[in-house]
Each structure stands twice: as structure tokens, then as C-alpha cells.
Amino acid sequence: QKEVEQNSGPLSVPEGAIASLNCTYSDRGSQSFFWYRQYSGKSPELIMSIYSNGDKEDGRFTAQLNKASQYVSLLIRDSQPSDSATYLCAANPGANNLFFGTGTRLTVIP
């Protein structure tokens, strides 16, 4: 079964801190991984994609992938109240589909 698991949270961090969001996946054949941000009542927005082991940085966001451990993470540096949202992790097992986790709700406290 192709599962993606995330801690549902809520995760609370103070403004300016680093938020760390984690995700594990069960299908070792997964090659592509994505992080989406979903504000309450809105649709998911793609914020990061990662395909190779290691880190990928984009502004305040860093995605980390460890295929041996089947682990993906998203770090948000200098967290802002506007980062408060639910973050969805997704994995692609090589077909046309993505498998999504249920999301981690992040609250950044001013």
C-alpha cells in the first residue's frame, strides 16, 4: 500500500523560529516528492519539489530527502504568521498519481 504519513499536529512555533515538518513514505519506488501549503478554506499550493537525496533550498524553505530512510522534511526558517497553514507532503510512485499525507497544521505565534 502506498502511504504517506505526517504528524497531524498542530505544530506551534514562535515567530522567527525554524518550523520543521516531517513526512515518511512507504513505497521505496517513489522518486519525486512535493510539499504543498494549504490555507484554511483554500486549495493546496505547491511550494517545493525534491527529486534527489539531500537538501534543496528556496528562500526561507528547505526540503530534505533521505530515500534510504524514506523520509522527507520541510524546514521553514524565520517563520512568519503568514506561514500558518496546513502543509501536505506528497510522493509520486512512478505513475501519473501523487499520494498525499493528511497534512500537518502549523501555527506561527506572533
Partner 1 sequence: SQTIHQWPATLVQPVGSPLSLECTVEGTSNPNLYWYRQAAGRGLQLLFYSVGIGQISSEVPQNLSASRPQDRQFILSSKKLLLSDSGFYLCAWGQTSYEQYFGPGTRLTVT
**Residue from 15, 45, 57, 78 in contact with partner 1 (CB under 8 A):** 45
* Site for partner 1, residues 69 to 108, rule: CB under 8 A: 88, 90, 92, 96-98, 100-103
Q: Which residues of 38-68 are buried (b: 16+ CB within 10 A; e: fewer)?
A: eeeeeebeebbebeeeeeeeeeebbbbbeee
Nearer to partner 1, 31 or 66 (CB): 31
Q: Is 81 helix (H, G, I), strand (E, B) or coil?
A: helix
3-state secondary structure of 36: strand
Residue count at the site for partner 1 (CB under 8 A)?
A: 19
Contacting positions for partner 1 (CB under 8 A): 32, 34, 36, 42-46, 49, 88, 90, 92, 96-98, 100-103
